[in-house]
Amino acid sequence: MADVPENAPQSCPGTSSSEAGKSSLCQGCPNQSLCASGAAGGPDPAIQEVKDKMKMVKHKILVLSGKGGVGKSTFSSHLAHGLAEDETKQVALLDIDICGPSIPKMMGLEGEQVHQSGSGWSPVYVDDNLAVMSIGFLLNSPDDAVIWRGPKKNGMIKQFLRDVDWGELDYLIIDTPPGTSDEHLSIVQYLRAAQIDGAVIITTPQEVSLQDVRKEINFCHKVKLPIIGVIENMSGFICPKCKNESQIFPPTTGGAEKMCQDFNITLLGKVPLDPQIGKSCDRGKSFLSEVPDSLATTSYRKIIQRIREYCDMHLSQEGKDA
């Protein structure tokens, strides 16, 4: 049987196959260039380099969604803001949505640029303890289209993890594009040896969203990525005047709560619709500090606290296993 390199994708043809590095299954794999050259005696050396770099990062959290438009980047940005409210913690937000980077806009950093230093790329800072990196900082204009195939996306993710001068971090939050393709395989393969805490999965209540999220959950199981829990976004709308609640996206099949029961995973919480969330993101501000008394802010804070507790428990468990 052909040797399969460590961190290879599912259905890897093997290093001794004539299709090694050339098959469509190889697209986005960190080992692709090595296999194609016939010199695949081991994994991409960048995997070890990333592992060494990530030793300075205590917690690594992926934010996933099967479907676009469910509020994944919105949650990622507010998770970063919420964690960074503790000034003793160093937080970074990495945007690996290569084709649709929205984090610079949401974090109020549109138009900023990345600078090269002797220790690598310098991330852009929102506050002294909150750093951001995105391909959006490398584009000439926010309207520029990034038209790349998988291997080039993989190379950029490698650079973000290996060549950015993150320094010592308590939390690295990674905002991903929708789906289960190149970017997701690359980030999991590069970070697997560096111990990812887990993934937070975002959905909305309706079945068309849950259907895609089930695929995301199965992806996590296949690549052995722990799931911290699921968040149901846009979960009802409470009228600010009459205080009546309306279901804008009806949970026709039981919503995220029923899905989490079926998969035996944690429902971290539900965040109601609030028009002010979108306005805050458009202005590049933290909704948590702009509207502190909102029901959505209360939901966000409870969810962020549960994620914090999960990470503390994960770190404690790692210490016992060491």
Rounded CA gap, 235 and 273, in Å?
6
What pLDDT, on the 0 to 100 scale, is given for residue 99? 92
Q: Is-contact 217 185, C-beta < 8 A?
A: no
Rounded CA gap, 267 and 280, in Å?
25
Half-sphere CA count of 33, side-chain side, radius 13 A:
9
Question: pLDDT tens across 235-263, in order?
Answer: 988 777 777 778 888 898 999 999 999 99
Q: What is the mean pLDDT of the chain?
A: 88
Amino acid at 48: Q
pLDDT over 70, % of the chain: 88
What pLDDT, on the 0 to 100 scale, is given for residue 46? 85
DSSP 22: T
DSSP 135: G
Is the pLDDT at 10 greater than 60? The verdict is no
71 is in an annotated binding site: yes
Helix boundaries (H) for 107-248: 150-163, 182-191, 207-222
Question: For the chain, give me the number of helices (H) and strands (E)?
Answer: 11, 12
Q: Give me 165's structure tokens.
A: 């001068």
Give the model's confidence band at 1: pLDDT under 50 very low, under 70 low, under 90 confident, else very high: very low
222 is in an annotated binding site: no
Least confident range from 44-53, 162-171, 204-213, 227-236: namely 44-53
26 is in an annotated binding site: yes
Mean pLDDT of 149-177: 93
What pLDDT, on the 0 to 100 scale, is given for residue 227? 97
Give the model's confidence band at 15: pLDDT under 50 very low, under 70 low, under 90 confident, else very high: low
Name the residue with higher pLDDT: 117 or 317: 117
Least confident range from 29-33, 207-211, 251-255: namely 29-33
What pLDDT, on the 0 to 100 scale, is given for residue 2? 44
29 is in an annotated binding site: yes
Mean pLDDT of 261-268: 97
Q: What are phi and psi of 268, to 5 degrees?
A: -70, -30
DSSP 144: -
164 is in an annotated binding site: no
Q: Give me 33's structure tokens.
A: 């260039």
Classify 106 as helix, strand or coil: helix
Q: Is the Cα dihedral 231, 237, 240, 244 positive or negative?
A: negative
Dihedral angle, C-alpha 145, 44, 49, 84, nearest 10 °:
40
Is the pLDDT at 137 greater than 70? The verdict is yes
66 is in an annotated binding site: yes
What pLDDT, on the 0 to 100 scale, is given for residue 18? 65
Is the pLDDT at 37 greater than 70? The verdict is no
Give the model's confidence band at 119: pLDDT under 50 very low, under 70 low, under 90 confident, else very high: confident
How distant is the alpha carbon of residue 314 from its chain centre? 18
67 is in an annotated binding site: yes
What pLDDT, on the 0 to 100 scale, is given for residue 13? 64
69 is in an annotated binding site: yes
Give the model's confidence band at 322: pLDDT under 50 very low, under 70 low, under 90 confident, else very high: low
CA-derived radius of gyration, the chain? 20
Mean pLDDT of 35-40: 61
What pLDDT, on the 0 to 100 scale, is given for residue 34? 63
SS3 helix, strand, coil % of the chain, rounded to 5?
40, 20, 40
How distant, in Å, are the alpha carbons of 77, 115, 157, 214, 248 from that of 95? 10, 17, 9, 23, 29
Least confident range from 2-11, 111-120, 237-246, 313-322: namely 2-11
| The model's pTM | 0.86
Domains in the chain: ranges and CATH: 1-42 (no CATH), 46-319 (3.40.50.300)
Question: pLDDT tens across 44-89, in order?
Answer: 788 899 999 999 999 999 999 988 999 999 999 999 999 999 999 9
